[in-house]
Amino acid sequence: AQSVTQLDSQVPVFEEAPVELRCNYSSSVSVYLFWYVQYPNQGLQLLLKYLSGSTLVESINGFEAEFNKSQTSFHLRKPSVHISDTAEYFCAVSEVANSGYALNFGKGTSLLVTP
Amino acid sequence: GAGVSQSPSNKVTEKGKDVELRCDPISGHTALYWYRQSLGQGLEFLIYFQGNSAPDKSGLPSDRFSAERTGGSVSTLTIQRTQQEDSAVYLCASSLATVRTDTQYFGPGTRLTVL
């Protein structure tokens, strides 16, 4: 079974600075990868996902993530963050060979953007 | 259109009591998932439904937990004889089909506190 590791539980960053939220997974088979975001007092929302094709995927609000098969990583990046990006970010994996369809989530990274 | 809704939003109960949590998925979504979000444990999968059947119950933590779905729509998660360790936010998600690439849309959750 796959597991997901989000290496940083908290990431403080100043507004307009770049940020990288790290995600590694352990699986020897094909996977689909997701990043979800949870804004304060709101539900989880899909930010972006990698299914196949180009290893670089982008969201509408400037985030991007790159699937790196050799390093089993799917790090999330943004070149310039806003105060409104403050939220909890979850990386998730769905293993193609798994009989179930549940997402396996990391423990989350809390991004705190300050002026 | 309307998203996934859950009720109640908050539930406080005494140890040993039974509770029922409700999820209304997005209309037309055939797949429905229950997850639990607790401090220190992150997001844990509990059970998913394909239509009214539950092919994967592997995440249910004990036989005190059960879930059903009727009419391919509303689902109820029941916890019998609640324990303090059951305190968590219970999240419901739905997707258009039971396809791994489909986005899971999450509800706002039910915060359960067991005293």
pLDDT of the residue at A99: 58
Of residues A80 and B72, the one with the higher pLDDT is: A80
CB neighbourhood size of B98 (10 A): 18
Domain covering B11-108, topology: Immunoglobulin-like (2.60.40)
Closest Cβ–Cβ partner in B31, B91, B100 for A44: B91
pLDDT of the residue at A2: 64
Q: How many CA atoms lie within 13 A of A114 on its CB side?
A: 5
Closest Cβ–Cβ partner in B42, B91, B93 for A106: B42
The alpha-carbon gap from A37 to the nearest alpha carbon of chain B, in Å, equals: 11
Mean pLDDT, all residues of chain A: 90
Above 90 in pLDDT, residue A3?
no
Above 70 in pLDDT, residue A54?
yes
Q: Which residues of B touch A109 (CB under 8 A)?
A: none
Q: What domains sit in chain A, N to C, each tagged with a CATH number?
A: 3-114 (2.60.40.10)
For chain B, 115 residues long, give each residue's pLDDT as a single digit of tens: 589 999 999 999 999 999 999 999 999 999 999 999 988 778 898 998 888 888 778 889 999 999 999 888 999 999 999 999 999 999 999 998 777 778 899 999 999 999 9
Residue A86: exposure state from Cβ atoms within 10 A (0-12, 13-18, ≥19): middle
Kindly report the backbone phi and psi dihedral angles of residue B84, in degrees, each rounded to the nearest multiple of 5, phi listed first.
-60, -30
Chain A interface includes B91 (CB < 8 A): yes
Mean pLDDT over A25-36 rounds to: 85
pLDDT of the residue at A55: 87
The domain ranges of chain B are 11-108
